[in-house]
Amino acid sequence: MKTRTILLKICSFILVTGYFSGILTATDAYAAEDILTITQNAGYQTNEFYKPKASIVIEAQTGQVLWEDNPDLKWNPASIAKLMSVYLVFEAIEQGKFTLDTTVKATDNDQAISQIYELSNNSIVSGIAYPVRDLLYATLVQSSNVATVMLANLVTAHDEAKFIHMMNDKAKELGMTNSTFYNCSGAETGAFNGYYKPEGIDQSADNVTTARDLAILSYHLLKNYPDTVKYTSPVQITIMENTPYAEVLENHNYSLPGLAYGYEGADGLKTGSSPTGGFNYAATAKREDTRLIEIVLGVGDWEDQEGELQRHAFGNAIFDQAFATYEYKQLLTKGNNTINKEEVILDQDFYGVIQRNTTPAFKLTADKVTMDTGLSQVSPTIKAPSVSFKYAQKLKALQNGTFLKNTKKKNSLSTFFVNGLLIILGLLVMALSKLFKKETAGTTKFSPILALGILLILAGIALSTYTIVIGPWF
């Protein structure tokens, strides 16, 4: 019997130990899970060869990082660089320099660029006027290099070098600390056969940026120019309609709904590929109130064109994980709220990112409500969500002060007038006391007039304080 009891205890110990070991093993496996494992577990056929060199996912409203892997690796983004050129085009439109209906008359150089086989382009005919709207579609849907050059030249009146400097200046302004641009389209300047040649800019240099910097750029592009997705979401579109120059453009973003890797909610932004950069992907997708931005860089190798599809498998997989884990939602309503046992009044609704099925932890700091999510900001220039508040008790005390109530404004004004008179009278009495001051043999006699003046001043101050906090005293 005793032996049997000992054996039962040993078996129970082994079972319990095995159970908790399994939990710890599962936890460690999840913690160590990388983008390749996540993508394979999502059902996509891929392998180590195609694993991205860098990636990041951020929430589009707050700029908070939901996933990152080597986000500060410097990389050639290829045609994703067009997003910076488009940003400057939208900015020029906002500044009133031209409109979407403004036309750009194609030059001989533009036509020559459009005929370079090695570059991604659309058809351009010298002397024909192309609307800015259509050139934006060509840039973002077809990834047209010539359309990008035409737009850049419109912004700067054909000062090609100036546009490059504008790109770099804007990168610094937006907080893109690891980015340098040498061309407007993502294609090496030397590939344009001399038809596009920014003066003083290295023709053989590739643009350099990081996953983080491209996420920052995409954040500001969508925030400041939300219509961007109108130009990045079409699977197919015809430009120059009803003219002899009509052309059908095809989108290379295969994660758009209806294409090979169609993803629910995807509506942009831009793909890019090159011999030195491999296959890259900047994407955005929205589900309910949550919009995400992701950057995937360096998928596969230029020699293996399968990377063009594989980048979407990785992008879809980390989108799935982020959408499943986090949500952007309204967390507090404008007006009265109880936060950390304090009664507060919020100036507006409070929105933020939280893990699904969790309760947010709020902080009251100075006059702001913030939230402790454990998530970092993609850039120090992009602040975490916050909302202004007032403590309800203090506000109530002020509201009870009659000077805030319309029905007793006259009494408040009258009271403050009397309080002021007391202070002024006290000052006058103190001044008069000096005229009657009598000194004897090195000593100064007590002056009742001076004492009266001080009392009048103190009374005026005390009654003013009473009026502010409680209300009129008469």
pLDDT for the residue 394: 62
Given 55, 114, 120, 143, the catalytic residue: 143
Radius of gyration, CA atoms only, the chain: 34
The answer to whether 184 and 85 have CB atoms below 8 angstroms apart is yes
Contacts of 303 (CB under 8 A, 6+ apart): none
**DSSP state, 259?**
S
- C-alpha–C-alpha distance, residues 191 and 204, integer Å: 9
- In which element (H, E) is residue 317 found? helix 307-325
Q: What are the tens digits of pLDDT across the range 338-391? A: 888 889 888 899 999 999 989 888 988 878 899 888 899 999 999 999 999 888
pLDDT for the residue 441: 42
Say whether the peptide bond before residue 151 is cis (omega within 30 degrees of 0): no
3-class DSSP state of 359: coil
Fold agreement between 48-326 and 328-395: no
DSSP bridge pairs for 335: 346
Given 51, 55, 82, 379, the catalytic residue: 82
* Per-residue tokens: 404: 């805030």
The answer to whether 50 and 300 have CB atoms below 8 angstroms apart is yes
pLDDT for the residue 38: 95
Q: Where in the chain are the domains?
A: 48-326, 328-395, 401-469
pLDDT for the residue 18: 36
- C-alpha–C-alpha distance, residues 120 and 109, integer Å: 16
- C-alpha–C-alpha distance, residues 216 and 322, integer Å: 18
- Annotated binding-site residue numbers for substrate: 270
pLDDT for the residue 341: 84
DSSP bridge pairs for 293: 58, 284
Residue 79 annotated to the active site: yes
pLDDT for the residue 469: 67
pLDDT for the residue 29: 29
Given 79, 179, 218, 412, the catalytic residue: 79
pLDDT for the residue 15: 34
pLDDT for the residue 375: 93
pLDDT for the residue 437: 63
Residue 386 annotated to the active site: no
- Annotated binding-site residue numbers: 270
pLDDT for the residue 458: 85
CATH topology of domain 328-395: Spermidine Synthase; Chain: A, domain 2 (2.30.140)
pLDDT for the residue 205: 93
> For the chain, which residues score pLDDT lower than 50?
1-32, 397-408, 410, 439-442
- C-alpha–C-alpha distance, residues 150 and 83, integer Å: 15
Indicate the CATH number of 48-326 among 3.10.20.740, 3.40.50.800, 3.40.710.10, 3.30.499.10: 3.40.710.10
DSSP bridge pairs for 272: 280
Share the mean pLDDT of the chain: 86
Residue 233 annotated to the active site: no
